[in-house]
């Protein structure tokens, strides 16, 4: 009985969005996942697409926890 | 972010674009950038899609961990710094300066 329930729970979990699972960090040597994100420049909202830098510039991607915190 | 700003000239001289990323709104990030004098873009990953794709989302914070990735011109990851190690970006600044020394 417990096993059946556990099995059903597992299936339910697997069916949920992969975004719910902690995904692993890409490793050194892996391709960096592409993205498009926005930022405010003056009064404008600008878009940055990672792959636009391909062949032109290195990119430092610095994730930080919250705005208005140190570091 | 201030530490990257302090090294921005070195990084730019090595053909490197710095991008900050958080799950804050773009207007919070703008205010933050203005307050601490950051001149590079602070990108808003509202909803955390990119944060999760990079595997840096932390449930405890409901926000990203502090992680720096150096991505080469070929789109591949060259260096990584995680949590406390990510506060001082020296490893990444040095990695950027290295190929320059060879020229």
Residues ≥6 apart with Cβ < 8 Å to B4 = A60, A62, B11, B18, B20, B38, B40, B89
Residue B103 lies in a domain: no
- Residue B101 confidence (pLDDT) above 70: no
Residue A71 and residue B87: Cβ atoms within 8 Å?
yes
The total number of structural domains in chain B stands at: 1
The most distant pair of C-alpha atoms in chain A lies apart, rounded to whole Å, by 62
Average pLDDT per block of 10 residues along chain A, 71 residues long = 78 62 84 96 92 97 86 50
Residue A57 lies in a domain: yes
With a threshold of 0.90, tell me whether the complex ipTM lies above it.
yes
How many CB pairs below 8 A link A and B? 180
Residue B15 lies in a domain: yes
Question: Tell me, what CATH number does B93's domain have?
Answer: 3.40.30.10
Judge whether A57 and B78 are in contact, CB under 8 Å.
Answer: no
Query: Which residues does chain B have within 8 Å of residue A24's beta carbon, measured at their own beta carbons?
Result: 55
Mean pLDDT, residues B19-34 taken together: 94
The A residues from 31 to 50 touching B (CB cutoff 8 Å) are 31-35, 37-41, 45-46, 48, 50
Residue B50 lies in a domain: yes
Query: Alpha-carbon torsion A27, A19, B67, B59, what sign?
Result: negative
* Short-list B30, B63, B36, CA closest to B48: B63
Residue B54 lies in a domain: yes
Identify the closest residue of chain B to A21 by CA–CA distance: B52
Q: Which residue has the tokens 């955390």?
A: B48
Judge whether B84 and B68 are in contact, CB under 8 Å.
Answer: no
Judge whether A32 and B69 are in contact, CB under 8 Å.
Answer: yes
What is the percentage of chain B residues whose pLDDT exceeds 90?
77
Residue B26 lies in a domain: yes
Q: What's the pLDDT tens digit per position in B31-57?
A: 999 999 999 999 999 999 999 999 999
Residue A50 lies in a domain: yes
Residue A13 lies in a domain: no
The total number of structural domains in chain A stands at: 1
Average pLDDT, chain B: 91
* Alpha helices for B1-103 (secondary structure H): 2-6, 8-13, 26-36, 49-53, 90-102
Identify the closest residue of chain A to B57 by CA–CA distance: A22
Q: Domain containing B86: what range?
A: 2-98
Query: Which residues does chain A have within 8 Å of residue B54's beta carbon, measured at their own beta carbons?
Result: 23, 25-26, 32-33, 61, 63
């Amino acid at each position: 009985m417990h096993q059946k329930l556990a099995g059903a729970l597992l299936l339910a979990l697997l069916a949920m969005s992969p975004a719910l699972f902690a995904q692993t960090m890409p490793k050194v040597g892996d391709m960096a996942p592409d993205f498009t994100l926005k930022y405010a420049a003056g009064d404008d909202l600008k878009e940055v697409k990672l792959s636009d830098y391909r062949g032109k510039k290195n990119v430092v991607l610095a994730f930080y926890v919250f705005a208005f915190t140190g570091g | 972010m201030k530490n990257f700003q302090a090294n921005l000239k070195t990084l730019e001289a090595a053909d490197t674009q710095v991008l900050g990323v958080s799950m804050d709104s773009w207007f919070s990030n703008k205010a933050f950038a203005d307050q601490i004098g950051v001149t590079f873009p602070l990108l808003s990953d509202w909803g955390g899609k990119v944060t999760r794709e990079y595997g840096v989302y932390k449930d405890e914070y409901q926000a990203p961990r502090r992680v720096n990735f150096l991505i080469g011109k070929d789109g591949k990851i060259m260096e990584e710094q995680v949590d406390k190690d990510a506060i001082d970006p020296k490893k990444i600044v040095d990695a950027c300066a290295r190929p320059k020394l060879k020229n």
